[in-house]
């Protein structure tokens, strides 16, 4: 059966006239189909990428990352200069962080936000000036605080009252005044998934606005601390501006009160700006976001009779999310008939057993095509965590077949291991096809796991027809090397077609062109 008008499709999903087409708001800037119908990313074909690096593989459009970072900075610089102030843009490293990406964004003029000792280590190993780093986290360890202070991290975000003394003590030991922000829970509810909203009253981040004046007094009482301003982050993947505007109003009112007792040079309004994962998503352009922020901050400061502070923002997903696709290979196809009007009936059974059997009957049904790939929730946990939606296209060829409603499933031993819950692909999708899933640059690799003992995929940067590994993928040898019960593991050379090692008497490590 065809999928035209398939009742299993979600209301937001529109059947495309051409299931080969790429929506430019969803796919990387340099993603195209060539004359043979094969997808190219940064000038490199999907087939070449799969042959060299295996699948799954994260493919990152380097030029797109650089251009997006520069565009964000230019938009905030321009709009806040228009109202008589300036802005700092921090790249939120939690979205995706590697040494190369750290260099790309700082070369574009951005700062970097880190929120763990590991992320700090990556930024420092990349050669980033510590003064260009901000350090977040609701439960920073003593060791993390000490390292951040000792290496000269530009600013530490204090997330709780207990951290004030910890940061002050570390700064005093190292003999300098540490610049700090105070994170607030503004009480603004972003219109987003429950687990992505981070400024509600009953949650782990920040302190209530009512408690802020006393906390700032405590910070200012320490000669080893320099208070530079407030911080708030209302959530992630937000498509509307009202929540940001209300949060800005609340923080500026407090900012004005704090000015009465000392300087407050900056105000950090966080990030969380949404991107398009599907054609149904409508994300605000960065130029619109920057303009609205500048206008509301300027208007509120005029109303309060205060000078505009330096504004800071922390986009991550907006910069790296749309730049990356994950390439998979299709393994199995399964058509599943789903009942639409299911009736459950109790069938009479033997009185001696007195147990009823359940049977079902249905007056109508529809077909869902399950397309299983060689990755899954180990490389993209967001659909399982947040019910996130994604878009997919056949990458190795174009097709004239009619569109079919599909669900892209992973290979893990979980019924919830879904990569794309609903999209349309050509109905002739078949085993061996390469499948590209768009907008996987943010919170996919960074949330990746070794579930079912799968190695985390490599990350490959593409630009001007060239491809290079920026994060090496994991092999079975890597995974087994951590198991202290394994005395010796030796692998034969990994095949470029399946990247699976077999136990042998010799040992080789894969080259960059494999994993």
**Residues labelled catalytic:** 413
For tokens 């008008």, the residue is 5
Q: Which residues pair with 326 in a beta bridge?
A: 58, 437
How far, in Å, CA of 182 to CA of 161, rounded? 9
Contact 465, 44 (CB under 8 A): yes
Number of Cα atoms under 13 Å in the Cβ half of residue 201: 4
Rounded CA Rg of the chain: 26
What's the Cα-to-Cα distance from 215 to each of 185, 189, 211, 350, rounded to whole Å? 13, 23, 6, 72
Contact 152, 130 (CB under 8 A): yes
Q: Is the peptide bond before 400 cis (omega within 30 degrees of 0)?
A: no
SS3 state at 6: coil
Angle, helices 99-107/117-125, rounded to nearest 10 degrees? 70
The phi and psi torsions of 318 (rounded to 5 degrees) equal -60, -30
One-character DSSP codes across 423-441: EEEETT--TT-EEEEE--T
Please name the residue ranges forming H helices in 270-407. 286-304, 317-320, 382-386
According to DSSP, the β-strands at 87-92 and 310-313 are: parallel
């Amino acid at each position: 059966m065809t999928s035209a008008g398939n009742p299993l499709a979600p209301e937001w999903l529109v059947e495309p006239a051409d299931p080969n087409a790429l929506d430019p708001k969803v796919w990387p800037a340099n993603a195209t189909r060539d004359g043979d119908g094969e997808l190219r990313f940064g000038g490199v074909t999907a087939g070449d990428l799969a042959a060299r690096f295996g699948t799954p593989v994260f493919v990152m459009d380097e030029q797109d990352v650089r251009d997006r970072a520069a565009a964000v900075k230019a938009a905030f610089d321009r709009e806040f200069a228009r109202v008589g102030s300036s802005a700092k843009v921090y790249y939120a490293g939690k979205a995706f962080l590697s040494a190369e990406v750290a260099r790309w964004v700082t070369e574009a003029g951005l700062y970097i936000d880190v929120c763990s000792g590991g992320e700090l280590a990556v930024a420092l190993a990349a050669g980033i000036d510590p003064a260009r780093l901000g350090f977040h986290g609701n439960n920073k360890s003593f060791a993390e605080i000490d390292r951040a202070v000792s290496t000269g991290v530009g600013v530490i975000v204090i997330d709780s009252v207990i951290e004030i003394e910890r940061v002050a003590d570390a700064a005093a030991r190292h003999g300098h005044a540490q610049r700090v922000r105070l994170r607030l829970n503004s009480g603004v509810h972003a219109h987003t998934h429950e687990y992505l909203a981070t400024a509600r009253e009953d949650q782990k981040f920040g302190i209530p606005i009512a408690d802020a004046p006393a906390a700032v007094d405590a910070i200012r009482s320490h000669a080893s601390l320099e208070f530079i301003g407030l911080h708030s982050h209302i959530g992630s993947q937000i498509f509307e501006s009202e929540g940001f505007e209300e949060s800005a109003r609340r923080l500026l009112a407090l900012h004005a009160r704090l000015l009465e007792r000392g300087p407050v040079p900056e105000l950090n309004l966080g990030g969380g700006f949404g991107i398009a994962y599907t054609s149904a998503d409508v994300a605000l352009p960065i130029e619109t976001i920057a303009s609205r922020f500048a206008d509301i901050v300027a208007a509120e400061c005029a109303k309060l009779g205060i000078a505009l502070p330096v504004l800071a923002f922390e986009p991550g997903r907006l910069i790296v999310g749309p730049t990356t696709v994950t390439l998979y290979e299709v393994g199995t196809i399964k058509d599943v008939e789903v009942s639409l009007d299911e009736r459950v009936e109790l069938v009479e059974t033997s009185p001696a057993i007195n147990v009823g059997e359940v049977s079902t009957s249905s007056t109508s049904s529809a077909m869902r095509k399950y397309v299983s790939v060689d990755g899954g929730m180990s490389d993209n946990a967001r659909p399982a965590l947040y019910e996130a939606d994604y878009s997919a296209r056949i990458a190795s060829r174009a097709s004239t077949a009619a569109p079919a409603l599909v669900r892209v499933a992973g290979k893990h031993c979980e019924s919830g291991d879904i990569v794309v819950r609903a999209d349309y692909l050509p109905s002739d999708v078949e085993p061996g096809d390469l499948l590209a899933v768009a907008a996987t640059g943010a919170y996919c690799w960074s949330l990746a796991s070794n579930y079912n003992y799968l190695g985390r995929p490599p990350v490959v940067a593409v630009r001007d027809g060239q491809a290079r590994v920026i994060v090496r993928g994991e092999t079975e040898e890597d995974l087994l090397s951590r198991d202290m019960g394994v005395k010796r593991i030796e692998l034969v050379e990994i095949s470029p077609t399946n990247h699976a090692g077999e136990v042998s008497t010799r040992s080789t490590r894969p080259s960059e062109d494999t994993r």
